[in-house]
Amino acid sequence: MDNNTFFRIAAEQHLGYIKAAVQARAERIRNNTPTLRDLVQQLADVRGVYLVGSSKRGCYKFGYNNSLRNGIGSHGFYPFKLNVIMWREIEDNKPLSEQLRARFSTKSCRVDDTPGEWFNLNAADLEILKTEFQFISD
């Protein structure tokens, strides 16, 4: 296969992916099921630490970003729905993220077909995040 053929096929496949993503987003808007990025639109310029996860599975991820919207919004492609979002606005966000990972290290778990470190947290743990670490939730 020559380069021109390869690039033509790759472009067609990429265009198909983009079209599918646009159609899926339009469907979510029609069904009033916003993405995580939509839910946290107001956090565009907020630095901090966040937690996203699935209450059904009891698995959660910590992260930090200079834009909480971008950090949280980057977690939209898992084989299950993420329905828990919590965050704390803080300038020096990396140390807090590391502190939380250390605090809950005994609850570390694997989630099949997903990257990164997950934690098996319960309702009491989520309450600790709200009370002790001043996280807020959607």
Structural domains counted in the chain: 2
List of residues 6+ apart from 120 with CB closer than 8 A: 58, 59, 107, 108, 109
How many other CB atoms are found less than 10 A from the CB of residue 100? 21
126/80 same-domain check: yes
* Tens digits of residue pLDDT in 98-122: 999 999 999 999 888 777 788 999 9
The pTM assigned to this predicted structure is 0.64
Do 132 and 79 share a domain, yes or no? yes
Q: What is the pLDDT of residues 42-101, one digit of tens each?
A: 656 677 888 888 888 888 988 887 666 666 666 656 667 777 778 888 888 888 889 999
Q: In terms of domains, do 78 and 24 share one?
A: no
Same domain, 57 and 89: yes
Structural domain of 117: 36-137
Residues 19 and 63 occupy one common structural domain = no
125 and 81 share one domain: yes
